[in-house]
Amino acid sequence: MKNTLRAAALLLLAATALTAPAQAQDVPPVVSAIFKSWETQLRATPAYDKIETDSSGNVTISNLVATVGAQDPSTAMKLSIGSIALENIAPEADGLIAVGSAIFSGTKMEMAGPDNKSVVIEVPTSSLEEWHVPVPGGNPTPLQSFRATMWIAGKMTSGEIKVTAEGQSFTAKGVESAWSGDPATGAGKTTMSLNNLVIPEAALAMIDPSGQLKALGYSDITLNMAGDGELSVAGDNFGMTGTFGVSSKDMAGFTFSYGASDIPIAVMAEMQMAQKTGRPPDFNMLMPQLMNVTLSGFKMRFEDASITKKVLPLIARMQGMDEAAMVANAGAMMQLSLMQLKNQAFTDQVVGAVNAFLKDPKSITLSLAPAAPIRVQEIMTLNPSNPGAAIDLFGASVTAND
């Protein structure tokens, strides 16, 4: 979850993702550390009006602007921040600097693509508490480089978020996250949520020009996203487990969860270097370690909140039949389509679950729950002509209304 939501958080609270300052003036160590720590994330080139330090050591950066490097050179991204106020700054062990609180005011991200269509994200106020900023050395170890990619703060809040695209605006109540763990390695537990993202009727019409959603009775949409995750670090490897969910009021909800371990930290270092040098990652030298990566499980779950019953008649008409006939024939069609998997027990389970869900839509869940964690090496040795064996190995199952 942590990694799964981090990209969204960087965009909405992007004030921490900057490179070395453009102004020729003395820069406090904490500012240099923040800029250096995140330079590989957005490849930004910033400028600012001034940096001020008061008698207590608190730091304020004023009127910061950064052009953010995009993967697609035809896409332009500009970040501007009215001010960043850092308070209660103190050195920590393990090459870290503690920031008791960081307040970002007037954050705006402007993005324009090759079609000249723009998206603007505005966050008037956001904050971090108990922020642990890494100080990268001249020749960092893979673990230090890995840690430098993490945004570790005990608490993060964004305040209201406003998004404007093609003249239409929608808002979210804000992002909130909490973390606890080991600041030196980044290992720990995270929870995060994005609350009440409201897409009004005018903006929905732009997203759905055919008007299908409105025809189904949805004049606007309210989304909520939430998740939790845990990062573990053991020697030269790390592992991740997490759950992420998104739900729409009076429509449906979708969640997925995952678990993986024994992932080489060197993989992250290679990805950083590839991004920095503008080349594709080269994992050939890491292939022996990658073969030992283990997968402990995966789950996808759909929970209905009215949309299925509204969509079924539409799907039936597209297939040239009425809803009752489509539901009655669904099992037989599913049976035929799954024959190639060569696993009758799994096929029967899927058919039963689909039939039960269509007759009484509540939930349907796909789970991979192997008896023991599966190494990538085991997956590579599976016989592609016998998919049924892979289904058994992964412990695949499909259930409905549970």
168-201: per-residue pLDDT in tens? 888 999 999 999 999 999 999 999 999 999 988 8
The residue whose two tokens read 């799964």 is 4
Which stretch of 69-83, 146-160, 247-261 has the lowest confidence by average pLDDT?
Answer: 69-83
Q: Give residue limits of the domains in the chain.
A: 2-290, 304-400
Task: Provide the pairing of β-strand 168-172 with 174-181.
Answer: unpaired
77: which strand partners?
Answer: 68, 111
Q: HSE (CB half, 13 Å, CA atoms) of 124?
A: 6
Minimum mean pLDDT range among 88-102, 120-134, 184-198, 201-215: 201-215
**pTM higher than 0.75:** yes
**Looking at per-residue confidence, does 284 or 255 come out higher?**
255
Supply the pLDDT for residue 9.
Answer: 41
What's the whole-number average pLDDT of the chain?
A: 86
Q: Are 132 and 139 in contact (CB under 8 A)?
A: no
**The tokens of 135 are what?**
């100080």
DSSP letters for 316-350? HHHTTS-HHHHHHHHHHHHHHHTGGG--HHHHHHH
DSSP3 helix / strand / coil % (the chain, rounded to 5): 30, 40, 25
Give which of 227, 14, 212 is closest to 104, Cα–Cα. Answer: 14
Say what percent of the chain tops pLDDT 90.
Answer: 56
Structure-token pair, residue 309:
């019953």
**What six digits make up the tokens of 121?**
């994200």
Q: What tens digit of pLDDT does each residue of 304-362 get?
A: 999 999 999 888 888 888 888 888 888 888 889 899 999 999 999 999 999 999 999 99
Residues 117-149, buried b or exposed e (16+ Cβ, 10 A)?
eeeebbbeebbbbbbbbbbbeeebebbbbbbbb
